Structure 1
Amino acid sequence: HTEPQHQQRSPAPVVQPRATATHVRAQLQGPVFTPTDAKLPLKPFEVMQFLRTVAVLLMGITLCVSAAKVDERDCEVCKAVLSDIDSKLTTEQRKDVLEIEQAMQTYCDAAKGKEKTMCYYMGVGDKEQGTAGGVKREISGSFQRGINAKRLCTRLKKKDAQMCELRYEKKIDVKNTDLKKLRVKELRKILDDEGVSAKGLVEKDEFINKIKTHFGIKDDL
């Protein structure tokens, strides 16, 4: 009697769970942070890495803010004076620092106001005023090497901040300003800047009328 042979059954196929959108996102994004993870203490090197990252970010923000606050009027007199001198130098003069310094002296002898003060700071004064320092040779040497006024003023600022603190006074936009709100001193300055004599003027209204006449400003009806 032969017993029937039992057929070996093949193992049932393993059914893979259907991938859902949540599973796919989890695989792409990596391990998900859970509140319990926050309880795990950070290792020393992780703390240092975190602090370094924060420091770099703060430094970057600080630099961006500082750059945004750069004053466009910084070094304006210095740039104006050195640009003017530089533009007048000939090719021959640039070959000799003494020739350059002579050109600087010629410019400063005729300078007035803020430009004259800048010459004093540069070390190019006159017998009456003298000089404030000895950067004249540095300036002439820089002109000889072709360094422009903007770059040169930035260098000079590190040695003597006064050079870049010197600024022109803001001119009043006469035609768009209520002259009655200005002081007599300011009204007088407007006339002085225009080369108009204020002789005989005493009252504020007299200054205002003189300015309106000079600029052709008519009273509103």
Structure 2
Amino acid sequence: MNSFYYILFLVYLVPTVMSVKEVTKENCEVCVTVLDKFVASLKSEDKADQKKVHSELMKFCKNLKKTENRFCYYVGGLEESATSILGEITKRVTWGVPSEKICQQLTRKDSQICELKYEKQIDLTKVNFKKLKVKDLKKILSDWEEQCKGCTEKSDFVSRIKELMPTYAPDAAKALKERDEL
């Protein structure tokens, strides 16, 4: 009878444990990046208190946007989160566990965590705005939290972006001036 349980253990439990692969910044970029930023933002005296780490993580998550906000939703760092595995994070942060190992533990609880990826950023210093789609131009404005009211043509969006570039992307504006495109 004992051998039956042993075989059952090997058949069901071992593949589950083995299926979680090594987590790195490349294959779990959002989780590792967010946790690295969070741990760096903590004061050294706060890292020892699990309740303080929990409250600081909740505050930290309120200011995140897009993909990082989605990560906070998955782990329970937002008030509207359906589930919460913050205890897994706060415990390990107080123990000084590296972000990669924390993310590996979180992936065992929720496989979606390492599936999050950052959106590709458009390099404004090298881009030819005339070749971009209107959707991409709108995304640039959206990332800057700006709008283009009354813009109907692609050229309207390009003009608005070039107008706002010195404020939001000064290096890109400087590069465009050097090429006489601004």
TM-score normalised by the chain length of structure 1: 0.59
Alpha carbons of structure 1 residues 119 and 171: separation in structure 2 relative to 1, 3 Å: same
8 Å contact 2:25–2:100 — kept in the other structure? no
SS of alignment partner, residue 174 of structure 1:
coil
8 Å contact 2:75–2:84 — kept in the other structure? yes
Q: CA deviation at 1:201?
A: 1.4
Separation in 2 of the partners of 1:181 and 1:190?
Answer: 14
Separation in 1 of the partners of 2:24 and 2:128?
Answer: 27
Aligned partner (choices 123, 142, 151) of residue 92 of structure 2: 142
SS of alignment partner, residue 175 of structure 1:
coil
Q: What is the aligned partner in structure 1 of residue 157 from structure 2?
A: 207
8 Å contact 2:24–2:100 — kept in the other structure? no
Q: CA deviation at 1:114?
A: 1.9
Stretches of structure 1 that go unaligned for 5 or more consecutive residues are 1-66
Q: What is the aligned partner in structure 2 of residue 105 from structure 1?
A: 58
Separation in 2 of the partners of 1:81 and 1:71?
Answer: 13
Alignment of 1:75 onto 2:2:
no
Alpha carbons of structure 1 residues 162 and 132: separation in structure 2 relative to 1, 3 Å: farther
Q: Percent identity?
A: 34
Asked which structure has the greater CA Rg, the reply is 1
Q: Look up the equivalent residue of 2:120 and give its one-letter code.
A: K
Q: Look up the equivalent residue of 2:128 and give its one-letter code.
A: D
Listed as ranges, the matches of 1:49-198 within 5 Å are 73-126=26-79, 129=80, 131-198=81-148
Alpha carbons of structure 1 residues 177 and 109: separation in structure 2 relative to 1, 3 Å: closer
TM-score normalised by the chain length of structure 2: 0.70
Separation in 2 of the partners of 1:179 and 1:71?
Answer: 35
Equivalent residues, number = 149
Higher relative contact order (CA 8 A, sep 6+): 2
8 Å contact 1:78–1:163 — kept in the other structure? yes
Q: CA deviation at 1:203?
A: 0.2
Separation in 1 of the partners of 2:130 and 2:83?
Answer: 44
Separation in 2 of the partners of 1:139 and 1:194?
Answer: 31
Greater helix percent: which structure? 2
Cα offsets for 1:1-57 (capped at 9, x unmatched)? xxxxxxxxxxxxxxxxxxxxxxxxxxxxxxxxxxxxxxxxxxxxxxxxxxxxxxxxx
Q: What is the aligned partner in structure 1 of residue 12 from structure 2?
A: none
Q: CA deviation at 1:96?
A: 2.3
